[in-house]
Copies of this chain bind each other. A is one copy, B any other.
Amino acid sequence: MLVVKKFGGTSVADKERIFNVAKRCMKSYQAGDDVVVVLSAMGKMTDVLIDQAKDINPNPSKRELDMLLTTGEQTSVALMAMALHSLGVPAISLNAFQVAMHTTSNCGNARIKRIDSERIRHELDQRKIVIITGFQGVNKYDDYTTLGRGGSDTTAVALAAALHADSCEIYTDVDGIYTADPRLVKKARKMKEITYDEMLDLATLGAGVLHNRSVEMAKKYNVPLVVRSSLTDAEGTVVKEDVKVERMLVSGVAADKNATRISVVGLEDRPGVAFRLFDALAKANINVDMILQSIGREGKKDISFTIPEDVADEALNVIEKNMERLKAEKVDCKRNVAKVSVVGAGMMSNPGVAAKMFECLYNSNININMISTSEIRVTVLIDEKEVEKAINAVHEAFGLED
């Protein structure tokens, strides 16, 4: 078995935890596996480095920031190799240059383009554990790049794909994917298996265990993902294309509290209006989330959308600068809203899911602000303070605790 194991920053935060990870890898190695380990920077090191950079230059160039940040994972992998050596296990660390991990050129938010697997295979053939820096790559100019949020997950999946690994294990502080956030829903149940598409919708919608880029890539290259705890030996959740267990109507409920709704009211009802609005936002690098267009009064139309809370002010600024061009009447902003979603590959062939969700929210006296659906997902926007009540009600309505 060739296994890629990814450990986040908290799993390598100090000497004791480094040895915990080393011992776990040793166990797999001694069982005969070829082991590739992907590590993030230790604990809060990335944040410390960013602070150090901003102290020198409040607005550091992305190229130089990545040059600085990549030292974080390089430190982790070197120390992990030393820990494995002291356990008597052959191991070698590799950074993005040594792999090589080729990415697109944009620093701070690069995408992996190609991985040379020759060096890794060579070291595995020597029966070494190969420890690789997560989060980082090298672009065509030979500059360091970083992959943005959740980058180390993406590194692990990309390596698993390039090496045709039998499994890609993502170690986190939870022991798998649950039907709902166990901190909010007491009856939440750990899932044994989940499909890529369900996981994608859960990741995008704020379940927060795996970054959606890594799940997208796992789906594209059919990499079997396992999400499990770095602290226990519990089995975890397998993410894959086809799930063997009988399809549940709904797999899980996710909530994302970090939302703001903006409504642009009284737009002209003619082609190009939506384009102009979202083009202006895209040019300001603001990603919108749910979009809803409705028919307004007197041949006008309204467009509402949700965005993360922290870019709300920026988005409002952009829209206000473009009011004349957009020919809008006014802009509304509703903060402290949250998205609650039910996700399930089973709902594709069952049209009653949305209705059941709305009924259950109505029974709990929760008002719905916006609705958005996809083939395997129904999302509603509600007041942030009603999130906990809502997901518990929905969780129960779909019988997820069984």
Check A68/B75 contact, CB under 8 A, given A92-B63, A119-B142, A142-B98.
yes
Asked if A86 and B63 make an inter-chain contact with CB atoms under 8 angstroms apart, the answer reads: no
A56 at the interface (CB under 8 A from B): yes
B68 near A83 with CB under 8 A, answer: no
Given the interface pairs A97-B142, A98-B142, A119-B142, the reply to whether A83 lies near B67 with Cβ below 8 Å is no
B residues less than 8 Å from A85 (CB atoms):
57, 60-61, 64
B residues less than 8 Å from A158 (CB atoms): none
**Residue on B nearest A72 in the bound complex, by CB:** B71
Tell whether, in the assembled complex, residue A18 and residue B56 are in contact, meaning their CB atoms are under 8 Å apart. yes
Report whether B15 and A56 are in contact in the complex, using a CB–CB cutoff of 8 Å: yes
Q: Any chain B CB within 8 A of the CB of A82?
A: yes
- Contact among B52, B55, B86 for A57, CB-based, below 8 A: B86
CB distance from A120 to the nearest CB of B (A): 12
Docked CA distance A278–B92 (Å): 35
Interface residue ranges of A100-142 to B (CB < 8 Å): 119, 142
Contact of A212 with B by CB under 8 A: no
Nearest Cβ in chain B — how far from A105, in angstroms?
Answer: 14
The 8 Å CB contact of A70, one of B68, B74, B86, is: B74
**Cα–Cα, bound, A97→B133 (Å):** 16
Tell yes or no: A381 within 8 A of B by CB: no
A143 at the interface (CB under 8 A from B): yes
Check if A152 is an interface residue, CB within 8 A of chain B.
no
Interface string of A245-285 (1 = CB under 8 A from B): 00000000000000000000000000000000000000000
B74:A78 contact, CB within 8 angstroms: no
Task: Pick the contact of A15: B55, B74, B82 (CB < 8 A).
Answer: B55
| CB–CB A81/B67 < 8 A | yes
* Interface mask (A22-61 → B, CB under 8 Å = 1, otherwise 0): 0000000000000000000000000001001101111011
> Are A82 and B64 neighbours in the complex by a CB distance under 8 Å?
yes
User: In the complex, what's the smallest C-beta–C-beta distance from A122 to chain B, in angstroms?
Assistant: 10
Kindly provide the distance from the CB of A322 to the nearest chain B CB, expressed in whole angstroms. Answer: 31
A11 adjacent to chain B (CB < 8 Å): no
Decide: A53 and B79 in contact? CB cutoff 8 A. yes
A69 and B101 alpha carbons, distance in the complex (Å): 21
List the B side residues contacting A15 at CB < 8 Å. Answer: 55-56
Given known A-B contacts A15-B56, A56-B18, A61 and B81 have beta carbons under 8 A apart = yes
Most buried by B among A78, A85, A98: A78
The answer to whether A67 and B78 have CB atoms under 8 Å apart is yes
Q: Does A214 contact B (CB under 8 A)?
A: no
A207 within 8 A of B: no
**Using Cβ atoms and an 8 Å threshold, which residues of chain B touch A49?**
75
> How far, in angstroms, from A93 to B64 measured CA to CA in the complex?
7
Between A60, A82, A92, A95, the greatest number of chain B beta carbons within 10 A of the residue's beta carbon is seen for A82
* Chain B CB within 8 A of A77 CB: yes
Chain B residue, CB-CB nearest to A52: B79
Residue A65 lies at the interface, judged by CB distance under 8 Å to chain B: yes
A82 to B75, CA, bound (A): 21
Query: What's the nearest-Cβ distance from chain B to residue A343, in Å?
Result: 41
Query: What are 11 A-B pairs at a CB distance below 8 A?
Result: A15-B56, A53-B78, A57-B82, A57-B85, A61-B82, A61-B85, A64-B78, A64-B85, A65-B78, A71-B71, A74-B74
